[in-house]
Amino acid sequence: MHRKNFLALAVLAFVISWMAAGSAQAQTAAPAPAAAVASAPADPNADNPFGDTLTFSGFIKRTGVMAYPLIALSMVAFFMIVLFTLTIRQGTVVSDAFMNSADALIRKQDYLGLLAVCNRRNECIARVTAKTLDFATRNPTASFEEVKEVTEAEGNRQSSLLLARIAYLGDVGAVAPMLGLLGTTLGMITTFHEISGKGAGGSNQLGLAQGVSEALLCTASGLVIGIPALMFYAIFRGKVNRLISEMEAATTHLMALLAVQYKRAARAAASV
């Protein structure tokens, strides 16, 4: 719960700081009184017509209607990066504490105790072990091969869930440039439509250049969102693959211990 509150506060602070920066920029850009115009210093953005692009209100003004989905995607990407940084770690997949407890309880054949430990732990390997023990205890006549099949199926499901989580960040990285290109296309259509409405003699090359530049801001914005999203997706994907390998090794170790216990119980039953 504390982790979720932290992520929510981080995203809220990011939004508030961005909006505050846009508001401050809009206030500083307000026209000065006529008496103070002569003594006011030169505007540093006078030679740069796109100086307010990095502000919230200026970005919306320059990029048009596509600014809203781009801003939404940037917030989603930021939230996912923070969330995956905090949650995709070894302690949430395989921990040494759980493996030591599981090893000791399996050697003692305390399966109910191990099942209680699994229910208290929020780890992928704990879910796999719980599924295995639940099947084994509910079906005492099941063979070890059948128990192993249940373990493999649950392990594959947990691996798929880990990969599916980070896939959303890759989707954001792929969609953001497409939205930027769509904004550029819409901006170009609007610009040429206005020029064609004025006629050949009324075309303004400066206005055309400015319109094209503003339209290309959509593409630049999409790339600014998509490139970091794809970079972090590649990082998280490599980390998830490494954790999946560790989970598979841990599952193999636990299943080997269970196989030994099954063989010991079979020999004891045969001797009786």
The most confident of the ranges 33-47, 94-108, 191-205 is 94-108
Q: Which residue has the higher pLDDT, 32 or 89?
A: 89
pLDDT category at 211 given cuts 50, 70, 90 is low
Per-residue pLDDT tens for 162-188?
999 999 999 999 999 999 888 888 878
Evaluate whether 135 touches 142 at the Cβ level (below 8 Å): yes
Note the pLDDT of residue 235. 95
Mean pLDDT of 125-138: 90
* Residue 212 resides in a domain: yes
Reference 240, options 101, 124, 117, 100; nearest CA is 124
Helices marked H in the chain: 2-28, 34-37, 56-63, 67-87, 96-107, 111-120, 124-138, 144-198, 205-271
* Residue 165 resides in a domain: yes
| Distance between CA atoms of residues 180 and 253, nearest Å | 49
The pTM (predicted TM-score) of the whole model is 0.71
Note the pLDDT of residue 136. 86
Evaluate whether 120 touches 111 at the Cβ level (below 8 Å): no
Evaluate whether 261 touches 109 at the Cβ level (below 8 Å): yes
The number of beta carbons lying within 10 Å of the beta carbon of residue 270 is 7
* Residue 227 resides in a domain: yes
154 exposed, middle or buried (CB, 10 Å; 0-12, 13-18, 19+)? buried
* Residue 46 resides in a domain: no
| Distance between CA atoms of residues 255 and 50, nearest Å | 63
Backbone Cα Rg of the chain: 30
Evaluate whether 250 touches 94 at the Cβ level (below 8 Å): yes
User: Domain of 147?
Assistant: 92-267
* Residue 195 resides in a domain: yes
The number of beta carbons lying within 10 Å of the beta carbon of residue 152 is 15
Using CA of residue 160, residue 165, residue 166, residue 172, what is the dihedral sign? positive
150 pLDDT more than 50:
yes
- With vertex at residue 11, the alpha carbon angle to CA 161 and CA 72, rounded to the nearest 5 degrees, is 75
Q: Which residue has the higher pLDDT, 100 or 7?
A: 100
The total number of structural domains in the chain stands at: 1
Mean pLDDT of the chain: 77
**Angle, to 10 degrees, between the axis of helix 56-63 and the axis of helix 2-28?**
70
Evaluate whether 70 touches 217 at the Cβ level (below 8 Å): no
207 pLDDT more than 70:
no
| Distance between CA atoms of residues 121 and 130, nearest Å | 10
- With vertex at residue 145, the alpha carbon angle to CA 143 and CA 150, rounded to the nearest 5 degrees, is 100
* Residue 208 resides in a domain: yes
Note the pLDDT of residue 54. 57
* Residue 14 resides in a domain: no
Of 106-115, 119-128, 179-188, 212-221, where does mean pLDDT reach its minimum? Answer: 212-221
* Residue 146 resides in a domain: yes
The most confident of the ranges 128-137, 197-206, 208-217, 224-233 is 224-233
| Distance between CA atoms of residues 71 and 175, nearest Å | 13
Instruction: Tell me the one-letter amino acid at 250.
Output: A
- With vertex at residue 19, the alpha carbon angle to CA 64 and CA 223, rounded to the nearest 5 degrees, is 50
